[in-house]
Chain A
Amino acid sequence: MANISKRNRRREREIRNAAKNRREIIAARLNRRDMIKAGLLTGAGYLIQKNGLSARAQFSGGGSFGSDCDRRWWDGSGGNGTPVSPPTTPFVEPLPIPPIAQSVASLSPAPTVNPNTAAGEARTRPHQALTTLPPQKFYEVHEREALISMHPELPLQRLWTFNGTVPGQTYVARYGEPILVRNFNDLPANNGGFGLQSVSTHLHNGHTPSESDGFPCDFFGVGKWYDQHYPNVLAGFASSHPPNGDINESMSTLWYHDHRVDFTSQNVYKGLAGFYLLFNQFDTGDETTGFRLPSFPQFDIPMMFNDKNFDPDDGLLAFDLANRDGILGDKFLVNGKIQPFFEVKRRRYRFRWLNGGPSRFYRMYLTKSDLTNHPFWIISNDGNLLKNPVQTTSGLMIAVAERMDVIVDFSSFAAGSIIHLENRLEQCDGAGPTTNILPAGQGNKVLQFRVVSDPVTDNSVNPATNPTFYQVPTRVTERIQRCFKFDRNNGQWVINDKLFDCNEVRFRVKRNTAEIWNLEGGFDWSHPIHIHFEEHQVLSRNRNTPTLIERGRKDVIRLGENDDVSIYFRFRDFTGRYPMHCHNIIHEDHAMMLRFDIDDVGNNNESNCDSHR
């Protein structure tokens, strides 16, 4: 009996694989010569058995989806279908580095505390800190359409950009130097099939007053503008640690992206995201000073990862409007290019890895040409430097919106060496990754490192010497504990059985107090949960001490199936509205979100934790 059923299962799998192979071959548009070359077709014209080799992977370099993933063909049956993108040759273009944002001498009209409605400003609330932390630099950014190449073999894409590039320009900011960004909505009338010409730009995860935070419902339409004041100030500056704040709350790698309620995934998928880097007297951007981290910008490189789909028939960026679970792309982009290469010198680099979504979880490895792993150091989680570097030889997981700064040392490689940045985490649908780690070389190669022979000096700190960065901020007694259960009810996301409404304040946090939140995941789904405004400390995960990497400050918490995570916050300095939401931006757009407000009174809503135990 057992044998028969095993055989049946094998047969079933063979049938499934054969169907999958056919789809892939069609999708890859191989001709007879291509197929013979790839070893898929014998000279006599028969399809050979194709075990574990993905034709699409071969020709797109996109990698296999793993044996258990049955990738659905976008056959016009709609709903949760995904197109199989056209083939693209991997590693033909260098990694683009987003340009650094340039400030302007002044803005006209000059920024005002109260919204300048008469002049077209869409802000609805006064600035909290414009006069106390006056901006020293001003930026003007136009959200507009631009024609962008994501791969030379695909047509130019009509993307939505911040000042014409994808990712948008990188802001290089410093603590103690507040800035103001005037954001214009110049998006075109025709959205090209997805996206809403209405925006709210969130700085993830600045210590930013609510009116400048990019709350999902502070959106504004075409022709209007919005001043966002980023104080670049440490948490505690106006409360526990006056006047400059707690140095141990320093952040480094932030990013900004559109956050328009219900349309975030479409607008961000269309290009509206970029980096915002914060330096200070320790994290200086100069490897001869402070913590001596690799110098910016030569050896300190931001990398935004996205997975996307392209229409197989015209090569244009495709977004499945019917998908409610999470969109998985079969093309892997770094800084807006499909599978670029990056030339590195024989020394240490700081890479700022960001999973820009929309939905996929990654586990990144550095795969050498002999298919062994090159170890690297994790120095920062969600833009917050850890106490000490942590080395990994077994990859690094990154959920959507998480940022991981790593130090990679290429000095042991000979010139001409090739190393691939490879995602080996199998994920078949938007519900979350499987537990399968694919074998080296069979994952998604997102980027190729090419070691060049140029002579180079390296004054950066060696992570193996165990340098200390920041301490984990001191805890104070919390005022309250709140509990949140994330679940799903007839396809509707609920948090403590309630649905999202921008106008409903679910609970109020008393300013300058600490709280503990317990987040509980539901059945069958994984969610990266993001809470705006304050970094939190992970106290426990499933009643265990968190890993070294999670034992710092974070702003995205991975909530796997039935996970139970306890986190600590201190909400300081500013008041106003902020959201907590799932950063699988497809879930987010289907209302997996709540609003909380910080004020000087607070309340005890959502603190009935008994029902969760």
Chain B
Amino acid sequence: MSKINRRKMLAGLAVAPLATVVTSRAGSLFDRSWATKSSREKLQARYFPNFELTTHEGKKVHFYDDLIKDKIVVINFMYAQCEGICVPVTQNLKRVQNLLGKRVGRDIFMYSITLKPDEDTPEKLKHYVQMHKLKPGWTFLTGKSDEIALLRKKLGFSDAKAKLDKDVTNHIGMIRYGNEAHQWWAMCPGQANPPWIVESILWMDPKADDVHSHKRQS
């Protein structure tokens, strides 16, 4: 059932007739257009809106098409002036980037999305990248504030407790890692040991020999 139909139903319920309900109810129990969508298309619709974002280098990109589709990705949220958790997480991810080496930007892509898009212009984010001496392949992103807010929710970076969610200093320090084509998605703490984060990210590579068998024994 499309969104339009739902809205029609809502309208239909608010007043008396309900005719739209009856017609949309006719036919099969489950909506065919959605049912023919692949699970991958459903994930895209639920979690990966194709919003236009701007990179720290001023390039316009589309979230799904350019950043997520067919890629192994690592995503976190931050803001440039953050004095709390962003610093250790950025330092941690810097070590992750170093450990992953040349693969970052080649087949593994790191994204940090600002929580304060109005404040964090591409220039500010570029300054942040230079200040922390971060290498290419790790992209910082800003965009329209309402779209960033929605993106944050969709990617699972909101707090269930509304009060905590409003407090940006308490923002979620987890990082999401995934492989879009394989529909593999999970999260790990941004402050976890960098080698462990790297190990988690490499599970997303179906070709790696030790992807799905734990090799590092102690």
Contact = CB atoms under 8 A, between A and B. Distances in A.
A505 B218 CA distance: 9
Interface in A79-110: 79-80, 86
Interface residues of A, number: 71
A133 interface: no
Interface in B31-64: 31, 34-35, 39-40, 42-43, 45-47
Give chain A's interface secondary structure class.
loop
Interface stretch (A294-302, A318-326, A334-342, A399-407): A318-326
A78 B150 contact: yes
Contact of B30 (A192, A313, A500): A313
A220 B213 CA distance: 4
Interface stretch (B8-16, B93-101, B115-123, B136-144): B8-16
Interface string B140-162: 00000000001011111111110
Contacts of A232: none
B195 A219 contact: no
A77 B193 contact: no
A503 B216 contact: yes
A435 interface: no
Given A86-B29, A314-B30, A80 B196 contact: no
Contacts of A196: 184, 186, 203, 212
Of B40, B84, B218, the most chain A CB neighbours within 10 A belong to B218
Given A44-B16, A219-B214, A493 B189 contact: yes
Nearest to A263: B186
Of A25, A313, A315, the most chain B CB neighbours within 10 A belong to A313
Interface string B204-218: 000000011111111
A29 B214 CA distance: 47
A217 interface: yes
B206 to A, nearest CB: 9
B42 A322 contact: no
A192 B157 CA distance: 23
Contacts of B212: 196-198, 219-222
B200 interface: yes
A101 B213 CA distance: 27
A500 B192 contact: yes
A80 B158 contact: yes
Given A47-B13, A86-B29, A324-B156, A491 B173 contact: yes
Nearest to B88: A490
A287 interface: no
Interface string B102-141: 0000000000000000000000000000000000000000
B42 A22 contact: no
B173 A489 contact: yes
Contact of B46 (A78, A489, A492): A78
A590 B192 contact: no
Contacts of B174: 324, 491-492, 590
A322 B155 contact: yes
B217 to A, nearest CB: 6
Of B10, B161, B183, the most chain A CB neighbours within 10 A belong to B183
Contacts of B153: 77-80, 322
A26 interface: yes
Interface in A130-151: none
Contacts of A74: 46
Contact of A590 (B6, B31, B40, B187): B187
A490 B171 contact: yes
A12 interface: no
Nearest to B1: A313
Contacts of A500: 189, 192, 196
Interface string A45-83: 111000000000000000000000000001011111000
Interface string A34-45: 010000010011
A503 B17 contact: no
Contacts of B25: 29, 31
Given A78-B155, A322-B156, A492-B190, A155 B183 contact: no
B159 to A, nearest CB: 6
Contacts of B154: 77-79, 322
A198 B182 CA distance: 13
A126 to B, nearest CB: 12
A32 B30 contact: no
A315 B160 contact: no
A315 B170 CA distance: 37
Contacts of A589: 186-187
B202 interface: no
A224 B213 contact: yes
Of B29, B187, B214, the most chain A CB neighbours within 10 A belong to B214
B84 to A, nearest CB: 7
B214 A193 contact: no
Given A32-B18, A429-B160, A493-B189, A219 B213 contact: yes
A440 interface: no
Nearest to B89: A490
Nearest to B194: A501
Interface string A223-247: 0100000000000000000000000
Interface string A516-551: 000000001000000000000000000000000000
A112 interface: no
A45 B217 contact: no
A368 to B, nearest CB: 34
A282 interface: no
B74 interface: no
Interface string A182-215: 0000000011111011100000000000000000
A453 interface: no
A74 B213 CA distance: 35
B4 interface: no
A37 to B, nearest CB: 14
B172 interface: yes
A5 to B, nearest CB: 20
27 contacts: A26-B10, A29-B25, A31-B25, A44-B16, A76-B45, A77-B153, A79-B154, A80-B156, A190-B183, A191-B39, A193-B39, A193-B43, A196-B212, A198-B212, A198-B213, A218-B214, A313-B30, A314-B34, A429-B160, A490-B84, A491-B171, A501-B193, A503-B195, A503-B216, A503-B218, A505-B218, A589-B187
Closest 3 CB pairs of A and B: A221-B212, A78-B154, A322-B156
Given A221-B212, A524-B161, 20 more contacts: A22-B13, A29-B25, A29-B29, A31-B21, A45-B17, A47-B13, A76-B46, A78-B154, A193-B183, A196-B186, A219-B214, A222-B212, A262-B188, A313-B30, A314-B34, A315-B30, A431-B160, A431-B161, A490-B173, A503-B196
Interface of A: 22, 25-26, 29-32, 35, 41, 44-47, 74, 76-80, 86, 122, 124-125, 153, 155, 190-194, 196-198, 217-222, 224, 262-263, 311-315, 321-325, 429-431, 489-493, 499-505, 524, 589-591
